[in-house]
Amino acid sequence: MATPAGPKKRRRRAPREPGGLFAYFDAPEARLADAPTVQWRQTIRRRIIVVVAFLTLWTVGIETRLVNLQVWQHDFLKGYANKQRDRMRDVLGRRGDILDRGGNILATSSQGHTVYVSAGEIDKPKEFAKKLCDALNGCDNTPNLIERFRKGIFTYVERKTVSEEEVAAVKALDPPLPGVGFEREPLRQYPNGRLLAHVLGWVGTDNIGIEGVEATYDGIVRGQDGQTLDMVDVRGRVFNWQLERPSTPGITLELTIDSHLQYIAERELRVAVNEHKADGGTVIILESSTGDVLALANEPTFDLNKKKLAPEKGHRRNRATQDTYEPGSIFKLVPIAAALEQEVVQLDDQFDVSAGSISRDNWGGHKIDDYTRYDGSLSVMDIVVKSSNVGAVQIAEHLGPDILYEYAKRFGFGQRVSTETFGFIPGEGDDGPEKWTVPTEFPGESVGLLHPPKDWKPVNIASFSIGYYLSATPLQLATAVNAIANGGVLVRPRLVRATRQNGDRVELLPHSTQRAVTPTTAMMLTNIMEEVVKRGTGRNAAIPGYTVAGKTGTARKYIGGAYSATEHRASFIGFVPSRDPVFTILVLVDSPGVATDTGGAVAAPVFKRIAEIALRDSGVSPTTEPVSRIFARRRGDSLPGVPTTPLPAPAYAPVAAVDSESLRMPDLSGMGLRRATRTLTQLGLFVKVQGDGVVFAQRPSAGSAIERGEEGVLQGTRQMRAVESSESHP
C-alpha cells in the first residue's frame, strides 16, 4: 500500500566557497560600502546593450538600403548616373539655301563659332564672367550668365556669332577657364543684307525660321538635326564625345523673285518715300501671265544680317500682305467691271456730274465730292479716266449690294490670295516620296474686310463704289488688277516655283485660277486704263514706245473716328505692255508729306521708272512708235556686228546640256534679249544689257570658255538692214 506523499522538501544549495566571482557582491558589508560602484557597473551594462542594439539596427538598415539600391532601384540609378555623366546635345542640320529665279543666293548657311560653359559650380562667377566676356568683346546678358555660372547650369555664352579672333582670345587666357568649350553651328547669312528682307524672314539661334519664307517652309528647309553624346566629369567638364546621329541638310528653295527687279523696286520706293517725306510704302511686281512675284518691296525695311533686328516692329512688318487699307479710286475698276459685264451700262453712256458732288436723302446727311469739278456729263470711260466719284456712285446705284459684293469676291477681295502649296521629297527604300504642304506662302496674310450685303446701308453702296467701306492688302489689289491683264482670269500669286535637292530640281505646280470677268469685259477695262495713262490722272506713268494700262488711287485715312483731311495713301497700279502684258506693278506710298500729293503725282512716276528698267532689262520690244528699220551710214563706213540680212535662228546649247566643268559661251545671235539674259543667268554669269530687241553682239564671243561669276555683255537691236547714203546726209 502506497504511503501518502508528505510535504516536498526544498533542496538546500551548498554554501559558496569564500572568494570567487560573486564574493564581493555577496558580502553585505561590501554592498553597503560600495553602492556607487555597483550602480556604475549596471549603467555600463545597459549602455552596452543599447549600443549593440543600435549597431544591429544600423547594420540591418544599411543592408536593407543596399538591397533597395542594388536590386529594386538598380535600373533607375544606372540611368541617373548615365544622365549625370552623359549629356545628349543636338547638332543643328544645315538649312537649305534660298535662291532667286536666276539661281542667285538670297539666303545660305555657313559655320559659325559657338562658345559654351559646361562646368559645375564656379567659385568666383563674377570674375569668371568678366574674363570670358572681355575675351569675347562683350556679352549680351552678363547678370544672367553670372547666375547660371553660380548654379553650374550648362550655358551657351554666344551662339554662332563668335569670330576666329575671339575664339583664339578665349583659348589664350592664362590660367584657362574651366569648362569653356567651342563648337561650330550653322549660321544663317543673307548676302544681300536688306534685299527682300520682308519676304525671306529670318532664323533664330535654334535654327528655326521666324517670319517669311524661312518660317513658312521651315519644315523642309531646316533639315534634320543630329545628336552627339558628351561625357563629363564630376565638375561637368567634357572629356569625351561621340556622334550618335548625323544631321542632314534641308531642301533648297528657288523663288520666283528676280533679284535685279527687287533691287530696283526697293531703290525707287526708298527714293519716293524720302522725297515725299512719307511714312512708308510698298511696291509689288508680278509676272502678268503666271502671277509669279518678281519683286515685293516695303519701306521702311531692315538688315537681316544685324545681330539684333530692328527694334521697331513696324520695320519688320510685311506691309504688302499684312497691312489693309481702303484702296480708294483704284477700286473703281471693280464696279465698272460689274456694270459692263452685266450690261447695265455701255462705255459711251453719259452721266451728269456737273454738280461736283452727290447726296441722297437716305444717306444720313453724307455727301461725296469730286476732287475736280467737271462741267456737263461724262461717259463711263471718262468717269474712270478722270476718276469722277460722282459718276462712279451713279453707276454703282444701278447694280446694288449683291452684284457689287459678288464681283468683289470674283476679284479676290475678302479672302486670302495665296493658296495651299505642296510638293514631294524623294524617299529612300520602300518609303517612297514624302509629301509636304504649306497652307499659305505669306504668313500672317490678312484677308481684308468685305462686308456681306445684308449689312449694307444705302450710303455704303456709294462708299463702296469709290473704294471705301472695304479694306484690302496691296497684294490683293495687285492680284485683282492682274486679272484684267490676263484677259479676266485671276491667277493666284506664287512665291516659290521649285525645290532643289541632291542635284534634282522639282518644279512646283502653278497656283489655282478663277475667272473674274469675260475676255470682252477685260478688254474694255484695258482700253479704259490705257486712256487713264494717255489723257487721265495717270499721265505721269506713260512710257515712250509702250502702251501702258493703269489706274490711280488717292485714299484718305480713317483716323480718330473720321477721315483725315491731310493723311492719305497715294497709289498707282498698271500693266505693261498693255496688249501683251509682261509686268503688273503696284506702287503705294503711305502718308506723303503734302496733302495734294495724289496717286498720279506720287506713285505714277515711281511706276514709270520701275517699268522702264524692267522692260529694258527683259528685252521687251516697244509696242508703239517703233524706231525706223532703216539705218543710214556714210558710204564706205562699216557696221561690224550689225546684220544686213535676216537674222538666223539662234544656235545655242540648252543650259541642261552645257558641261558644268567646261562652260562655253553659247551663240545668242538673233535671240530676244530677255531670253538671252535668262540663258546667261542660268549659266551663272552677271549680265549687262545694252539696247533692246534681239542680240546682235555679245561678249564673251560664242564658243569662248567662261566661268561662273563672269560678266556677260549683250548688245541688242531691232532687225535692221543697212542702207548706204550719200556723204551729204550723214
Spell out the SS3 assignment of 137-185.
CCCCCHHHHHHHHHHCCCEEEEEEEECHHHHHHHHCCCCCCCCEEEEEE
SS3 481: helix
- Per the structure block, which three cell numbers stand in for 683? 549659266
For range 428-442, the mean pLDDT: 75
Is there a domain that residue 422 lies in?
A: yes
CA atoms of 527 and 523, how far apart (whole Å): 6
**What was the pLDDT predicted at 588?**
97
Looking at residues 64-90, what average pLDDT do you find?
72
What's the pLDDT tens digit per position in 358-384?
A: 999 999 889 999 988 998 899 999 999
pLDDT of residue 587: 97
On whether both 563 and 600 belong to a single domain, the answer is yes
Q: Residue 675 pLDDT more than 80? A: no
Q: Which is higher by pLDDT, 123 or 290?
A: 290
Same domain, 523 and 541: yes
Q: Is the pLDDT of residue 413 over 90?
A: yes
Rg (CA), the chain: 42
Which cell numbers in the block locate residue 139? 556679352
Is 329 a known active-site residue? yes
Q: Is the pLDDT score of 236 beyond 60?
A: no
* Residue 705 pLDDT greater than 80, yes or no: no
pLDDT of residue 607: 97
Per-residue pLDDT tens over the stretch 323-355:
999 999 999 999 999 999 999 999 999 999 999
Tell me, yes or no, whether 613 and 636 share the same domain: no
Summarize the confidence of residues 141-156 as an average pLDDT: 76
Percent over 70 (pLDDT), the chain: 80
Q: What is the mean pLDDT of residues 63-79?
A: 79
Q: Which entry of 109, 118, 288, 329 is annotated as an active-site residue?
A: 329
- Domain span at residue 174 reads 88-255
Q: Which residue has the higher pLDDT, 34 or 55?
A: 55
Asked if residue 7 is part of any domain, the answer here is no
CA 107 to chain centre: 11
> Does residue 492 sit in the same domain as residue 606?
yes
Task: With both helix axes pointing from N to C terminus, report the angle between 401-410 and 458-465 in degrees, rounded to the nearest 10.
Answer: 40
* Contacts of 488 by beta carbon, 8 Å cutoff, 6+ apart: 515, 516, 517, 518, 519, 521, 522
Q: What is the mean pLDDT of the chain?
A: 81
Amino acid identity for residue 449 in this structure: L
pLDDT computed for residue 257 by the predictor: 96
Residue 647 has a pLDDT of 34
Mean pLDDT of 565-572: 92
Does residue 459 sit in the same domain as residue 531? yes
* 682 and 562 part of one domain: no
Rounded Cα gap, residues 387 and 380, in angstroms? 10
Orientation of helix 389-396 relative to helix 333-341, angle to 10°: 40
The reported pLDDT for the residue numbered 241 is 60
277 and 129 share one domain? no
- pLDDT above 90: residue 173: no
In a domain, 2, yes or no: no
| DSSP secondary structure string for all residues of 450-473 | E--GGG--HHHHHHHHTT-SEEB-
pLDDT of 648:
35
Top mean-pLDDT range of 104-118, 298-312, 685-699? 104-118
Task: Please choose, from the candidates 489, 462, 521, 520, the residue with its C-alpha nearest in 3D space to the C-alpha of residue 332.
Answer: 462
Minimal CA–CA distance to 478: which of 219, 282, 629, 663? 282
What is the C-alpha to C-alpha distance for residues 50 and 62, in angstroms, rounded to an integer?
Answer: 18
Residue 78 lies in a domain: no
**Bigger pLDDT: 531 vs 204:** 531
Whether 77 is in a domain gets the answer no
With cut-offs at 50, 70 and 90, classify the pLDDT of residue 444: confident
Q: Look at residue 425 in the predicted model and tell me its pLDDT.
A: 76
Which of 201, 224, 255 finishes a domain?
255
pLDDT band at 641 (very low <50, low <70, confident <90, very high): very low
Q: Are 237 and 365 found together in one domain?
A: no
- Work out the average pLDDT over 621-626: 74
> What is the number of structural domains in the chain?
4
622 found inside a domain: no
pLDDT, greater one: 723 or 65: 65
| Residue located via cell numbers 449683291 | 402
Element (H, E) at 26: helix 23-26
Picking from 582, 617, 652, the residue at the C-terminal end of a domain is: 617
| CB-CB contact of 159 with 205 (8 Å) | yes
* Statement to judge: residues 649 and 544 lie in one domain: no
Express each pLDDT in 492-515 by its tens digit: 999 999 999 888 888 888 887 899
Specify if 312 maps to a domain.
no
Tell me what the mean pLDDT of segment 652-669 comes to.
54
Collapsing DSSP states into helix, strand and coil, what is residue 483?
helix
How far, in Å, CA of 210 to CA of 374, rounded?
52
> Quick check: 565 pLDDT over 80?
yes
Write the CB contacts of 408 (distance below 8 Å, at least 6 apart in sequence).
Answer: 334, 414, 450, 470
269 and 236 part of one domain? no
Give CA–CA dist 511/497, Å, rounded: 10
Q: Over 50: is that where the pLDDT of 645 sits? A: no
Residue 4 in any domain: the answer is no
Mean pLDDT along residues 209-231: 83
What does the alpha-carbon distance between residue 413 and residue 405 come to, in Å, rounded to a whole number?
9
Domain boundary among 42, 72, 102: 72
pLDDT at 720 over 80: no
The answer on pLDDT for 274 being more than 90 is yes
Strand partners, 529: none
Q: What is the pTM of this model?
A: 0.72
Asked whether residue 577 falls in the same domain as residue 649, the answer is no
Greater confidence (91 vs 415) lies with: 415
* SS3 assignment, position 485: helix
Cβ 497 vs Cβ 507: under 8 Å: yes
Shared domain check, 293 and 220 = no
| For range 117-129, the mean pLDDT | 76
